[in-house]
Amino acid sequence: MLKVLLFCAFAVAIISAEIAEEDDVLVLKKSNFEEALKAHPNILVEFYAPWCGHCKALAPEYAKAAGQLKAEGSELRLGKVDATEESDLAQEFKVQGYPTIKFFKNGDKSAPKEYSAGRQADDFINWLKKRTGPAATTLTEASAAEQLIEGSEVVVIGFFKDVESTDAQAFVNAAESIDDVPFAITSSDDVFSKYEVTKDSVVLFKKFDEGRNTFEGEATKENLLAFVKANQLPLVIEFTEQTAPKIFGGEIKSHILMFLPKSSSDFQDKLDQFKKASENFKGKILFIFIDSESEDNQRILEFFGLKKEECPAVRLITLEDEMTKYKPENEEITTDNIKAFCTKFIEGKLKPHLMSQDIPEDWDKNPVKVLVGKNFEEVAFDAKKNVFVEFYAPWCGHCKQLAPIWDKLGEQFKEAEDIVIAKMDSTANEIETVKVHSFPTLKFFPAGDDRKVVDYSGERTLEAFAKFLESGGKEGAGTEEEQDLEDLDDESPEGAEDGNDDVDHDEL
């Protein structure tokens, strides 16, 4: 028996020894993946590419989380796979972009869970503990509650004299629905006394703004979820690689953004004015600050048609089915101006802000005509012309590949009196009639008075484009469903990196 035990211990040691670590993160390959799942049944795995900017930004927090879990003696571990080297693993687990993070539970690799929370160490740890432990940790001592609160950016504690009550069950149900915030429940008199709670309550403790919020109202799962989502983020949150998932993954889809250089002498004053205004719109509008000098944020400025020298500036955007932007009439950043702007938005009294460049003097000089917001309607909806338009972004790799083909198409049809080949930079120009979600987007505006718009979803070759035009916009036209599938292969206007943005799938 002793020999068997020694052999098993030796075998485990050999398995563990084969798995190298970098900053407490297991380095996984096809050759050791099965062994890793046997040695560490509950493991979070990041599939990354060495050149991916999002992966580089993620690395320090990911390593920090791995170190904390290891120091705790937790069975939970973090691993990483270089998907550019381990292409078989990437294909096996359907990795479509970088970083992709998946959780393998109980050594099962048949259906790993996609990681869906934030990119800070606490987010990884809280998410993992929620996935492997109770939705709400039971606190029996004040010291345990104190340790939990001190160790968490945000934590929600349910104070219930009877943890089997209806309200307590609603609390646990809510806890099961939120992955990125730790929940705890207590009936301990010591914990009640420590935090001066005298009756059944739900309290959100946080290391910013008010410090704590107490739930008021009927304790239903829906009401508790709304309470947590309204209070778990700071009144004003800075946009960074780490906070982006929380910003875009939250329930609040109306965002007001203040673009301001951190180095400006009045930075703190403007931030204070912005923050004071935010108090009136908690749970309705998310207030976001963006350092306009940071190189990492230049794509966002471009998306809103802004340049560094135009900041400070404020814009509002809705992230529903259609992304609609709004610009304040008064650009001065004061609490009163921000409040008035947000109030008009909530009341539905704002008109969308559509960007447009000035019409170039030589816009129709070349075979491919140059459209901007100010001349689009006149050209695209000319009742006597069939107009084929490419909506592009200057940084888009797919658009750069298409450019010489589009120029040849323009040359081929330059003598056709009823056909116009055109292009529009959709990062600097917007129109109400066409919403661009990916680049390039190709649309055909046939002659006639009915203002018809036809999506092109055929091959992007000179021959296919020519056949499409010669067929009157029929051969190569796609259904809405086909166009959606086509969009999956194109580049989003949000946050991809030059050269590799078609596989970098993060937000702005």
The per-residue DSSP string of 75-132 comes to S-EEEEEETTT-HHHHHHTT--SBSEEEEE-TT--SSPEEP-S-SSHHHHHHHHHHHH
Please report the pLDDT score of residue 508 as a whole number: 34
Question: What global pTM score does this model have?
Answer: 0.63
Give a yes or no: residue 419 inside a domain. yes
Give a yes or no: residue 13 inside a domain. no
Same domain for 247 and 283?
A: yes
Same domain for 322 and 382?
A: no
Angle between helices 335-346 and 267-278 (to 10 degrees): 40
Asked if residues 424 and 371 have their Cβ atoms less than 8 Å apart, the reply is: yes
Give a yes or no: residue 505 inside a domain. no
Give catalytic residue positions. Answer: 52, 55, 396, 399
Angle between helices 121-132 and 53-72 (to 10 degrees): 60
Q: Give the CATH number of the domain where residue 225 resides.
A: 3.40.30.10
Same domain for 275 and 175?
A: no
Q: How far is CA 325 from the centre of its chain?
A: 17
> E strands along 376-467, which residues?
386-392, 419-425, 441-445, 454-455
pLDDT in 10s for each residue of the chain, 508 residues: 434 444 444 344 334 446 899 999 999 999 999 999 999 999 999 999 999 888 998 999 999 999 999 998 899 999 999 999 999 999 999 888 889 999 998 888 888 888 878 888 988 998 888 888 888 999 999 999 999 999 889 999 999 999 999 999 999 999 988 877 899 999 999 999 999 999 999 999 999 999 999 999 999 999 999 899 889 889 999 998 778 877 887 778 899 999 999 999 999 999 999 999 999 898 889 999 999 999 888 888 888 888 888 899 999 999 876 678 899 988 899 999 999 999 999 999 998 888 888 999 999 999 999 999 999 999 999 999 999 999 999 988 899 999 999 999 999 999 999 999 999 998 889 888 888 878 899 999 999 999 999 999 889 999 999 999 999 888 866 543 333 333 334 455 443 333 333 333 333 3
Give a yes or no: residue 321 inside a domain. yes
Q: Which amino acid is at 437?
A: H
Give a yes or no: residue 257 inside a domain. yes
Please report the pLDDT score of residue 322 as a whole number: 67
Give a yes or no: residue 87 inside a domain. yes
CB neighbours of residue 422 within 10 Å = 24
Same domain for 296 and 379?
A: no
Of the candidates 230, 254, 286, which is a domain's last residue? 230
Same domain for 417 and 443?
A: yes
Same domain for 243 and 328?
A: yes
Peptide bond into 328 cis (omega under 30): no
Please report the pLDDT score of residue 126 as a whole number: 85
CB neighbours of residue 407 within 10 Å = 15
Q: How many CA atoms are closer than 13 Å to the CA of 445, on its beta-carbon side?
A: 23
Q: CA-to-CA distance for 492 and 325, rounded, in angstroms? A: 17
Cα–Cα distance list, 242 to 58, 82, 454 (Å) = 7, 21, 39
Identify the domain containing residue 278 by its residue range. 237-347
Of the candidates 205, 230, 255, which is a domain's last residue? 230
Same domain for 116 and 208?
A: no
Q: CA-to-CA distance for 104 and 431, rounded, in angstroms? A: 45
Q: Looking at residue 308, what DSSP letter applies? A: G
Helix/strand/coil for 75: coil
Nearest to 172 by CA among 229, 145, 163: 163
> What is the number of residues in the chain?
508
Asked if residues 423 and 389 have their Cβ atoms less than 8 Å apart, the reply is: yes
Same domain for 169 and 120?
A: no
In degrees to the nearest 10, what's the CA dihedral of 51, 55, 60, 66? -120
Give a yes or no: residue 98 inside a domain. yes
Cα–Cα distance list, 247 to 144, 234, 300 (Å) = 30, 11, 14
Same domain for 122 and 142?
A: no
Please report the pLDDT score of residue 476 as a whole number: 67
Same domain for 127 and 37?
A: yes
Q: CA-to-CA distance for 423 and 403, rounded, in angstroms? A: 10
Q: Which amino acid is at 134?
A: P
Of the candidates 313, 347, 381, which is a domain's last residue? 347
Same domain for 177 and 205?
A: yes
Asked if residues 105 and 51 have their Cβ atoms less than 8 Å apart, the reply is: no
Q: CA-to-CA distance for 417 and 321, rounded, in angstroms? A: 38
* Cα-based angle 387, 393, 394 (whole degrees, multiple of 5): 115
Q: CA-to-CA distance for 176 and 167, rounded, in angstroms? A: 14
Residues contacting 250, CB < 8 A, separation 6+: 229, 233, 286
Residues contacting 346, CB < 8 A, separation 6+: 281, 284, 285
Give a yes or no: residue 206 inside a domain. yes
Same domain for 25 and 128?
A: yes
Number of domains within the chain: 4
